[in-house]
Structure 1
Amino acid sequence: MNLLLAFMPFIVFVIVERLLSIPVGLAAGAVAAAALLMRDLITPGRSVKLLEVGTLLLFGGLTLLHLAMGEQWTIVDVRLRVDAGLLLIVLSTMVLGRPFSLQYARERAAPEHWERPDFLRVNYVISAAWALAFGVLVVADVVIDVMPGLPRAGGILAIVAALWTAAWFTGWYPEQHQRRMAGRT
């Protein structure tokens, strides 16, 4: 659940952007990311997460860029930037050898599991599933932008299906892996 809570700034952005405006939505996303970071800083047993730091930098940077440049971005332009930024954050954590889901998993697993190769492998697979989902979001954003005549419902359906699948997989895969490992012993 903590992993899914990490995506709260993106949900806040979508809601506030719809109700008020793009710059206010971006700023609200930055505030939500800052709140998650503060929670991690003041709560015993929690650590600052790469995803949350990246999210704060993403929303904060986009807010400042939007305000400084005074551009009138469309919602598709902004969502493409946000989704591509999120994909970049997730891929970066994997390239750095610290898949973003690992920090959340360590808060739930006993320390003796942390250094096991299969623990790291499971987190690479989960992070890759999220990267794939965010890749689908980026492709859907591009298709919506380049082909405005297409019904938006298809793009929205692809986005919802990708996010739901990644969330479901995040819960399902570790249990399947544990069952498979238990069957080997």
Structure 2
Amino acid sequence: MNMLLAFSPFIAFVVIERTVGVSAGLAAGALVAAVLLARDFLSSGRHVKILEIGTFLLFGALTLYSFAYGASWSVAAVRLRVDAGLFLIVLASIALRQPFTLQYAREKVAPELWASPHFVRVNYAITSVWACAFAVMVAADLLMAYVSSVPHSVGIFITVIALYAAIKFTERYPQQQRAARQA
């Protein structure tokens, strides 16, 4: 659940962007990301995570750019930037050998399992699935932004399916791997 909470800046962005506008949506995403960072920084037993740092930097930079240059992006163009940024954050976590799901998984398992090759492999797999989901979302955003003949509902449908698949994989894969190891 904590990992899903990490996506709350993106939810805040979508809600506010739809009701108030792009710049306000970006600012809302930055604000929620800052609150998550503060929560982890100030709480004992919690650690600041790569996804939360990256999300704050992403929304913060896009907000500053939007206000400084009066960016008049379409909704699809902003979502493309946000989703591409998220995709890059996830890829960076893999490149840094700290798949972003590892930090959330460590909050749920005993410390003696953290260095287990199996535990680390499971988290690389889950993070890779999220990277694929975000790549699909970027493709859907490109479709919505640059192919006017395709209804936005198609891009939204693709995005929802990609997120749903990643969430279900995240829920089921560790259990399947545990069962397979016990068998």
Question: Normalising TM by the smaller chain, what interval?
Answer: over 0.9
* Contiguous gaps of at least 5 residues in structure 2: none
Residues in 2 aligned to 1:71 and 1:113: alpha-carbon distance in whole angstroms? 47
Give 4+ residue runs of structure 1 displaced > 6 Å after superposition: none
Matched, 1:41 2:41: yes
Query: What secondary structure is seen at the aligned counterpart in 1 of 2:178?
Result: helix
Q: How many residues are paired up?
A: 183
| TM-score of the two chains, using structure 1 as the length reference | 0.97
TM-aligned CA deviation for residue 71 of structure 1:
2.2
Residues in 1 aligned to 2:137 and 2:33: alpha-carbon distance in whole angstroms? 20
* Contiguous gaps of at least 5 residues in structure 1: none
2:79 is matched with: 79
1:159 is matched with: 159
1:58 is matched with: 58
AA in 1 matched with 2:6: A
- CA deviation string 1:21-77 (max 9, x = no partner): 100000000000011111111222110000000000000000001111122111111
1:139 is matched with: 139
2:182 is matched with: 182
| TM-score of the two chains, using structure 2 as the length reference | 0.98
AA in 2 matched with 1:129: V
TM-aligned CA deviation for residue 146 of structure 1:
1.5
Aligned residue runs from structure 1 range 87-98, under 5 A: 87-98=87-98
Q: Percent identity?
A: 52
Residues in 1 aligned to 2:165 and 2:45: alpha-carbon distance in whole angstroms? 29
TM-aligned CA deviation for residue 149 of structure 1:
1.6
Matched, 1:104 2:90: no
Aligned residue runs from structure 1 range 108-123, under 5 A: 108-123=108-123
TM-aligned CA deviation for residue 137 of structure 1:
0.5
Residues in 2 aligned to 1:2 and 1:112: alpha-carbon distance in whole angstroms? 21
Residues in 2 aligned to 1:142 and 1:3: alpha-carbon distance in whole angstroms? 26
TM-aligned CA deviation for residue 17 of structure 1:
0.4
AA in 2 matched with 1:43: S
1:169 is matched with: 169
Superposition CA RMSD, Å: 0.7
Residues in 2 aligned to 1:148 and 1:73: alpha-carbon distance in whole angstroms? 15
Residues in 2 aligned to 1:36 and 1:81: alpha-carbon distance in whole angstroms? 21
1:14 is matched with: 14
Residues in 2 aligned to 1:181 and 1:38: alpha-carbon distance in whole angstroms? 38
